[in-house]
Amino acid sequence: MPVISTAGLARTFQTKHGPVEAVRGIDLTVRPGEILGFLGPNGAGKTTTLRMLTTLLPPTGGAATVAGHDLARDPAGVRRKIGYVAQSGGVDPSVSVREELTTQGRLYRLGKAEATARAEELAADLGLTELLDRKCGALSGGQRRRLDIAMGLTHRPAVLFLDEPTTGLDPGGRADLWELIRRLRAPLPAQSQGAPTHGLPSSLLAPSSLRGSSVQPAQRPETRSPGHAMTVFLTTHYLDEAEALADRLVIVDKGTVVAEGTAARLKAEYGGSPDATLQDAFIAITGRGAQRPDPDPIAV
C-alpha cells in the first residue's frame, strides 16, 4: 500500500492579475521506504506540491493520502506522521543547538527529561554532539542542515520531506548529507528479531528515549513500525543528487507529472542514446535544464 498517493492534486492561486495554476493535477504514488526524487524546472510546481503534501497549503482540487491520513479530512493526522525540512530552515540563531532540539521535543509533547534525552540522541546521530552548546547562528551551512534534519526527525516520522536539502553546501557537505539520507531509509529491524540495522543510528530505530518513561501513551510521538523504513520525498535541482539518492524520479512541469521512473529508465527512454545522461533525458522531457541559474557545486 502506498505511503503517499495523490489524485489530481491541484492548487490555483488567485492573484490580482488573475488565477495562477501552480499545480494543475498531480497523480503519484510513493511506496513505503522509497526515496523519491521530485524534480522539475523552475516554476514547475514542486514547492507548491510539497507545501500541500505537508499540510501547509490547502489544495484547491484533487485528493491525497499521506501515511494513512487523508490530507483534507485529517491534516493533523498527516502532521503527526511527517517531518518537513524546508529550504530555509526555521531555527532561531540566538539559541543553542541543545535548546532548539529540546524545544522541538517539547513541541511534540515530550516531557522535559525525554526532550533532553531525545535532543542528545539526535545530536549524536547527526554528528552534532560537539555543537550542542553552540548558538545556531554560529553553525556552518552543513551543520545547520543537519540540525534542520534533526528537528524534522524528532518525532520519528514515517515520511520525511526534504526541500532541496543540499542547496548551498560544499561537495563534502553534500556527500555527508547523501550518506545520512541513505541511512535514514534503511529498514527498521523487527524488534523481536533483532534484525541488522544497516548502520542506522540506534535512536532513529527505536524510541529508546521513551522506553520506561513517564510519558502517557496518548502523548507519545508516533514511532515508525518495525520492519518499515522511513520514506523520503525530496526535491532537488541537482540531477547528480537525484540519480545518486533516489530510487525513483518523478518529473513535473507546468503543474503536472510529465515522466517518472528510475534514472536508468528515464535515460533509456528519453535520453536518445545509450550513453545519455539524466540531464539529456531531463531536457528532452521538459525542454529545459534542471539547474538553478546560480552556479552548481562540483558534483561529488
d(CA 282, CA 237): 11
Closer residue to ligand ATP in complex, CB, 50/136: 50
Closer residue to ligand ATP in complex, CB, 22/204: 22
Closer residue to ligand ATP in complex, CB, 22/115: 22
Q: Which of 96, 122, 109 is nearest to 222 (CA)?
A: 109
d(CA 143, CA 131): 9
Question: Which residues, 39 to 68, sit near ligand ATP by CB under 6 A?
Answer: 40, 42-48
Closer residue to ligand ATP in complex, CB, 223/279: 279
Buried b (16+ CB within 10 A) or exposed e, 274-290: eebebbbbbbbbbeeeb
- Residue 269: phi, psi to the nearest 5? -80, -40
Q: Which of 163, 184, 9, 152 is nearest to 81 (CA)?
A: 152
- With CB under 6 A, what is the number of residues at the site for ligand ATP? 12
Residue 113 found at the interface with ligand ATP (CB under 6 A): no
Place of cell 523504513: 229
d(CA 9, CA 27): 7
Buried b (16+ CB within 10 A) or exposed e, 103-113: bbbbebebbee
Residue 13 found at the interface with ligand ATP (CB under 6 A): yes
Query: Closest approach of Cβ 165 to ligand ATP, in Å?
Result: 14
Question: Which residues, 18 to 37, sit near ligand ATP by CB under 6 A?
Answer: 20, 22
Extract the C-alpha cell encoding 255: 503543474
Query: Closest approach of Cβ 44 to ligand ATP, in Å?
Result: 4
211 exposed, middle or buried (CB, 10 Å; 0-12, 13-18, 19+)?
A: exposed
- Residue 121: phi, psi to the nearest 5? -60, -50
Query: Closest approach of Cβ 20 to ligand ATP, in Å?
Result: 4
Query: Closest approach of Cβ 171 to ligand ATP, in Å?
Result: 22
d(CA 181, CA 204): 12
Query: Closest approach of Cβ 109 to ligand ATP, in Å?
Result: 32
Query: Closest approach of Cβ 182 to ligand ATP, in Å?
Result: 24
Residue 193 found at the interface with ligand ATP (CB under 6 A): no
Candidate segments 12-20, 116-124, 153-161, 197-205, binder of ligand ATP by CB under 6 A: 12-20
Closer residue to ligand ATP in complex, CB, 164/176: 164
Query: Closest approach of Cβ 12 to ligand ATP, in Å?
Result: 9
> Which residues of the shown chain bind ligand ATP in the complex (CB under 6 A)?
13, 15, 20, 22, 40, 42-48
